[in-house]
Amino acid sequence: MRTAADIAAREPGFDDHTTPLARAAEHSVLARFGARMRPPMPRPDRTRVMVVANQKGGVGKTTTTVNVAAALAQLGQRVLVVDLDPQGNASTALGVEHRRGVPSTYDAVVDGVPLAEVTTECPDIPGLWVVPATIDLAGAEIELVSVVARENRLNKAIQGHPWVGGADDVGEERYDFVLVDCPPSLGLLTLNALVAGAEMMIPIQAEYYALEGLGQLLETVEMVRAHLNPRLSVSTILVTMYDARTRLASGVADEVREHFGDQVLKTTIPRSVRVSEAPSYGQTVMTYDPGSPGALCYLEAAREIASKGAPDR
């Protein structure tokens, strides 16, 4: 351990870079700018549309959406986040304007405005775009009731975007991932997302109640597959808010893996104050504190998602 006296004396062989403070600063800088130095992950052949849903609130659904999206962008993917939650929390975390009157998912889903016209680029993360949600979306459930093919509105908007499609059709400008953040309910907005997506990611909190709600969600998925979207598959399950100190957390994780096998990511997301703090600064944890355990785990989860590829369908 070096002391203040050692530093003052500058004894032979002493190096400022070996102090704990210097090492911590170096680690933070490497973590923050490391995304630019990492080799990019291979891009998929066509756009992967992934719905992030769980009707149970407080499981880390929006947090997972924005941080996985930011991590994928840092890994060289081109990502679009569609905020379908009227609360607009994903829009807040990604630092984009979402006050009333801003072009949003409401305009695309209810009024049929092209998705490209309501998309804005994330200011902090290159390669990440957002369709924000405004409070207007709260009335969309009622307004869509009388609309023809009401459950297909989001799918039509996404597929009509000029950057959604295969490499041969769209080229290098295509989105690699479209992540749809759903509201914590199984209403018309979530149904639109399930019809639009080919893949579904379910964040599960590492506690008992999360398992109870999962059954109802999977029943809904089966109904959607049977009647509206046979392409939909639960490709990814992510265990969030994992506390390694408790037996309950490990028990829930083991039970989920026993039932769902390879669909469950090997990476779990720990409880983290830094992850919770980041949205209050209009950021994801990937830019707020990229060296934190939460950020590193989300980066590894994104790497798993990108390397697994889309399921066969």
Tell me what pLDDT residue 27 has: 47
Does residue 62 contact residue 138 with C-beta atoms inside 8 Å?
A: no
- The pair phi, psi for residue 171, each rounded to 5°, is 90, -160
* Residue ranges making up the domain that contains 206: 41-308
Is residue 126 situated within a structural domain? yes
Is residue 194 situated within a structural domain? yes
Does residue 52 contact residue 81 with C-beta atoms inside 8 Å?
A: no
Q: How many CB atoms lie within 10 A of CB 46?
A: 18
Helix (H) or strand (E) holding 131: strand 128-131
Residue with tokens 């959604």: 164
Is residue 163 situated within a structural domain? yes
Tell me what pLDDT residue 58 has: 77
The span from the CA of 63 to the CA of 7, in Å, is 43
pLDDT digits (tens, 9 = 90+) for 126-179: 999 999 999 999 989 889 988 888 999 999 999 999 999 999 999 999 999 999
Is residue 23 situated within a structural domain? no
CATH classification at residue 184? 3.40.50.300
Is residue 90 situated within a structural domain? yes
Is residue 22 situated within a structural domain? no
Tally of domains within the chain: 1
Percent residues over pLDDT 70 in the chain: 87
Tell me what pLDDT residue 246 has: 85
pLDDT digits (tens, 9 = 90+) for 226-247: 999 999 999 999 999 888 888 8
The Cα-based distances of 197 to 156, 176, 299 in angstroms read 11, 14, 23
The span from the CA of 213 to the CA of 197, in Å, is 21
Residue ranges of the chain with pLDDT lower than 50?
A: 14, 24, 27, 30-31
Is residue 15 situated within a structural domain? no
Is residue 19 situated within a structural domain? no
Tell me what pLDDT residue 187 has: 87
